[in-house]
Chains A and B, each alone.
Chain A
Amino acid sequence: MALFSVFQTTFLLALLSLRTYQSEVLSEPLPWAPESLRVFINSTHQCLHLQWSVHNLAHHQELKMVFQIEISRIKTSNVIWVENYSTTVKWNQVLHWSWESKLPLECAKHFIRMRSAVDDAKTPEQSFWSNWSSWEEVHVQNSLGHDPFFVFPKDKLVEEGSNVTICYVSRSQPNNISCYLEGVRMQGEQLEPNVSVFNLNHVAFIRETGTNIYCKGDQGDSIKGIVLFVSKVLEEPKDFSCETQDLTTLNCTWDPRSDTGLLKQLSQSYTLFESFSGKKTLCKHKSWCSWEVAPESQEMYNFTLTAENYLRKRSVHLLFNLTHRVHPMAPFSVLFTDVSATNATMTWKVHTTGNYYTLLCQVELYGEGEVIQRNVSVEVDGKQLFGGLKPDTEYRAQVRCANANHFWKWSEWTRQNFTTAEAAPSEAPDVWRNVKSVQGHSVVTLFWKPLSKLQANGKILFYNIVIENLDRSSISKLLSIPAPANGTELNLDQCLYQIHVTANNSVGTSPASVIIVSGDPGNKEVEEERVKGMEDGFSLSWKPQPGNVTGYIVEWCDHPRGPLCDLQWKSVGPTTTSTVVSSDAFRPGVQYNFRIYGISTERVPYLLEKKTGYSQELDDAVCCKYRIDNPKQKTFVVENLQPESFYEFLVTPYTSVGEGPHGAFTKVTTPDEYSPILIRIILPMVFCILLIMIICYLKSQWMKEKCYPDIPDPYKSSVLSLIKSKENPRLTIMSIKDCVPDSIEVLNKQEGTRKSLTETESSKATYLYLLPTEKSYSGPGPCICFENFTYNQAASDSASCGHVPVAPVAPLSQLGLLTSPENLLKALEKNYMNSLGEIPAGETNLNYVSQLASAMSGDKFILPTNPPEPALCSEYKMQMAIPLGLASPPSSGSSSLSSVTLLDEGEHYH
């Protein structure tokens, strides 16, 4: 056992010594361990920059090494990042490594350490890790100020859709701090007792001026916040393309897509790089850039367009041959030479773009409804001849060109208009005539239709008419009728005439239209046939003529009822024996007459047939038809016609075979229906009214006496009968002559009996005091009493006066001032003051002396300014004789009876 024990001890010692040896070997510092580790903080980019060196490297020695870097957060045991950084280390080299933290560095402490190993085949024996360097602590919070809390990171710029971590750091704990993103409260997680973290995923672009994120405590702490600048994601430029117009400048264009500009960041910039020449240019514009083509005629170009902003770069490439990207400039100097009536030569020039290729030009000509298109190969000048054009027609020409060898794009169009020259009219005018025999002469009215534009070949200036007497062939006459006349009248004798009509423009004369006119109008009696109009006109047909005819003419009037019938005609060929005549002038209910002429080979027209009919028969047009059986009857009365209506009458004879020809209609308008009736009623009425007015005027005095006498007669009043029926049979009617009239005197006093309150008031305007206020005297209140003894004896006995309080009335002279509330107030104030105080002197007083008061004083001439006793109320009594026993004596005391006080109390009772 002891032996075993000794052995065990020896083994343990040996083991211990071995461990010690091993430990010594391991703890021996590695010759190339990282040294002088320093950590720099970039808060803006949330970056930690590490800087260290490796000593003991021999001069010019290079060694491949691996550095393992460990980063912990909050405490050293909480390792959040481990990275092996491989690099070749040289003698005396300072090494760098950066790490970007997702969490703002201010939010928590960070600890960094590193160790190294040689990863070089030259020194395989050294390929184990060195010791860790000591932990380097990064604590940005130390440098913060003294505010209660802070929010990080400040003014961060991120791309839309990225994830952002935000934190607040509070100085006190516990803290009740709430944080908001655009007004919405965010839910965070506690990192440390005084630090909370908020993770924002996929942040969205809100506005260019940034997104506000702010926090505030519930203790009324200050607001703290940050502005998060979220930019749109930089996209690849679209539709990048380059072309040249002149082979000296390339113009490159692209679609820049969305603008990523923010306050914190300028819009993306664009650079153009060409790899063959190695040249680079910074583009001044957002969507295009110019590139000078190298003079040494570089053919191939390989462009890289790079869009770049603060956060990212995007590039697109384009490889092309310069001559395949020629977009020629628009042709110029487009001219038309040798322009005749039917031909024109077009010439144009193109911009020279080098002498080694030709252009393909496209020429288009637009005339009246026709398009001519030609393709022309051009080197310098272009030329194209156009034939078969229409005379006197405006043509619009346009030309554009493209590279003939390598088509890229057409140039812009260059346009030019021209008009072909005039030519002589191509067709003879369509001529017709109307012949009337007047007193042995023929009045021939010639009509012709204006030539169409296609036939006229220019502007028709005049029509020439040559009248040739066929009977005496030597005599001919020339008339020239200026355009735009479409007819003329000729007075001819009964001879046979051949008339030639030609239309003339500035170039020449049209073929002649020939017509033979004789004294005989050719209106031989032919049978008139009825035709029925259709929707599209009248369908007419006639019998073919056995002889030779050169054609037929159908003639009619567009306005058969009008004074000018507006003669129309239609020419058809010799083989045609039917036609449809249509006209916009045809109206329903109007009868149209058609004459069909044949034109002989001698060009003499002769009447063949007559047709008549309505284009549309109206029911109300032919309203009635009367058959008069007595051939001797010469008058007929048509009854039951509508007033104010237009009628046409026609009388035509008839036989057993049928009706005779229709002559002209007689036009009649029926008169108004009501005028005679009205005249019959109104005239007697006017007469009656006049008669009544004259009678009234003559008897006006009598009427007035009867109806509205000036003074009503009491004896005739119904009141009397009422009174008599009551219990006072002694009542009598007072005679007018017994009455004593009232008198009104106007007194104008210069001095008052009392001194006025103020001096200014004495000069105030005249006031008419209808009633004093209660305070102006000590007696009973003012009153207006209307007592009628006749009707209410009991009331008078009890002396119940109706005391009517009346507010001070604004004097008339002050009314003009009462336009504003202030004036009103002043006026009221003044009135009250006057009422309360003394009445100013020198006022005009209106004294009403009642008949009763004067009777009481016994002297009606005495001035009422000094009444024997203060009478509170003047009294008004009905002018009625009252028996003494019943009449209550006028009281001078408080028992005032019906009274009207018009006296100024202030003046008279103080």
Chain B
Amino acid sequence: MQLQYQGSPFSDPGFSAPELQLSSLPPAVVSFKTWHALDDRERLSHAQGAFLALTQHLQLVGDDQRDLNPGSPMLLAQIGAARLRAQGLLGNMAAIMTALGLPIPPEEDTLGVVPFGASAFERKCRGYVVTREYGHWTDRAVRDLALLKAKYPG
């Protein structure tokens, strides 16, 4: 939905640009072998790190879109809701890690000074990457938690 507001090429049907990445945001795509070989601590800390970065990036994208699409309150509300969900998941993960006796990585500023001075097109691009990675990380988090649940029943 976010893409529909950005104009061509983002709003073109079937738009996909996997080559677009943000150095400050870890990609969710991982080979099954690598993913399966992760231990619980790595698995949870990867996801925890990703969602920590996502909450900050979604805040940034929300600010970007407030400038780019001020007349689309629905879009802004959805980005805000996504950020709150990411924060909620982050809290749950911290609780799981505590329960498993794993150390919780300290909260870091993942963005730094990167976001300032970006052009409108760059802001559209990073909005795309952040929302795409948010979806991928959510899918991956579901798999991660399902695996943990199977491992620690009850």
Contact = CB atoms under 8 A, between A and B. Distances in A.
Interface of A: 151, 154-155, 180, 182-183, 206-212, 214, 220-227, 263-264
Interface in B51-73: 67-71
B34 interface: no
B62 to A, nearest CB: 16
Given A182-B8, A183-B9, A155 B20 contact: no
Contact of B9 (A208, A210, A223): A223
B8 A183 contact: yes
B76 to A, nearest CB: 14
Contacts of A221: 19
A224 B120 CA distance: 11
A226 B119 CA distance: 7
A223 B67 contact: no
6 contacts: A155-B119, A180-B9, A214-B121, A222-B20, A227-B121, A263-B67
A226 B70 CA distance: 19
A783 to B, nearest CB: 53
Given A210-B120, A212-B124, A222-B20, A263 B8 contact: no
B121 A225 contact: yes
Interface of B: 5-10, 12, 17, 19-20, 67-71, 119-121, 124-125
B68 A209 contact: yes
Contact of A223 (B5, B17, B69, B120): B17
A222 B7 contact: no
Contact of B70 (A155, A220, A263): A263
A214 B69 CA distance: 19
Main secondary structure of the interface of B (DSSP, over half): loop
B7 A214 contact: no
B7 A223 contact: no
Given A209-B69, A227-B124, A183 B119 contact: no
Nearest to A214: B9
B45 to A, nearest CB: 29
Contacts of A220: 19
A220 B6 CA distance: 21
Contact of A212 (B9, B17, B20, B69): B9
A263 B120 CA distance: 10
Contacts of B17: 222-223
B8 A212 contact: yes
A77 B110 CA distance: 49
A182 B6 CA distance: 11
A122 to B, nearest CB: 51
B119 A154 contact: yes
A264 B12 CA distance: 24
A211 B8 CA distance: 8
B120 A227 contact: yes
6 closest Cβ contacts across the A-B interface? A227-B120, A154-B119, A225-B121, A183-B8, A212-B7, A182-B8
Contacts of B68: 209, 263
A221 B20 CA distance: 9
A113 B5 CA distance: 47
Contacts of B12: 183
Nearest to A181: B8
Given A227-B121, A227-B124, 7 more contacts: A154-B120, A155-B119, A209-B7, A212-B8, A212-B121, A214-B9, A222-B17
Best-surrounded residue of A151, A221, A222 (most CB of chain B within 10 A)? A222
A221 B18 CA distance: 10
B119 A223 contact: no
Nearest to A229: B120
A154 B120 CA distance: 8
Contacts of B71: 208
Contacts of A210: 7, 120
Contacts of B125: 223, 225
A371 B124 CA distance: 68
A158 to B, nearest CB: 14
Contacts of A211: 7
Contacts of B9: 180, 183, 212, 214, 223
A172 to B, nearest CB: 16
A154 B121 CA distance: 8
A331 B60 CA distance: 59
A222 B19 contact: yes
A480 to B, nearest CB: 77
A182 B20 contact: no
A76 to B, nearest CB: 31
A848 B40 CA distance: 69
A206 B7 CA distance: 10
A381 B113 CA distance: 74
B70 A223 contact: no
Contacts of A182: 7-8
Nearest to A184: B8
A864 B121 CA distance: 94
Best-surrounded residue of A155, A209, A211 (most CB of chain B within 10 A)? A209
A208 B67 CA distance: 12
Nearest to B10: A212
A180 B10 CA distance: 12
Contacts of B19: 220-223
Contacts of A223: 9, 17, 19-20, 125
Nearest to B17: A223
Best-surrounded residue of B9, B10, B12, B17 (most CB of chain A within 10 A)? B9
Contacts of A154: 119-121
A885 to B, nearest CB: 79
Contacts of A183: 8-9, 12
A183 B20 CA distance: 18
A182 B7 CA distance: 8
A537 to B, nearest CB: 73
Given A222-B20, A226-B119, A227-B124, A212 B6 contact: yes
Nearest to B121: A225
A382 to B, nearest CB: 51
B24 to A, nearest CB: 15
Given A183-B12, A223-B20, A223-B125, A155 B120 contact: yes
Contacts of A151: 121
Contacts of A180: 8-9
A45 to B, nearest CB: 15
A207 B67 CA distance: 15
A379 to B, nearest CB: 53
A12 to B, nearest CB: 65
Nearest to A207: B7
A223 B126 CA distance: 11
A221 B69 CA distance: 27
Contacts of A222: 17, 19-20
B89 to A, nearest CB: 29
A709 to B, nearest CB: 76
A797 B7 CA distance: 90
Given A155-B119, A222-B20, A223-B20, A209 B5 contact: yes
Nearest to A213: B121
Nearest to A208: B71
A210 B8 CA distance: 10
A226 B5 contact: no
Nearest to B18: A220
Best-surrounded residue of A206, A211, A212 (most CB of chain B within 10 A)? A212
Contacts of A224: 121
B56 to A, nearest CB: 22
A211 B121 CA distance: 10
A193 B71 CA distance: 42
A263 B119 CA distance: 13
A155 B67 CA distance: 13
A604 to B, nearest CB: 92
A331 to B, nearest CB: 45
Contacts of A227: 119-121, 124
Contacts of B70: 263
A155 to B, nearest CB: 5
A154 B118 CA distance: 10
A220 B124 CA distance: 19
Contacts of B10: 212
A227 B5 CA distance: 13
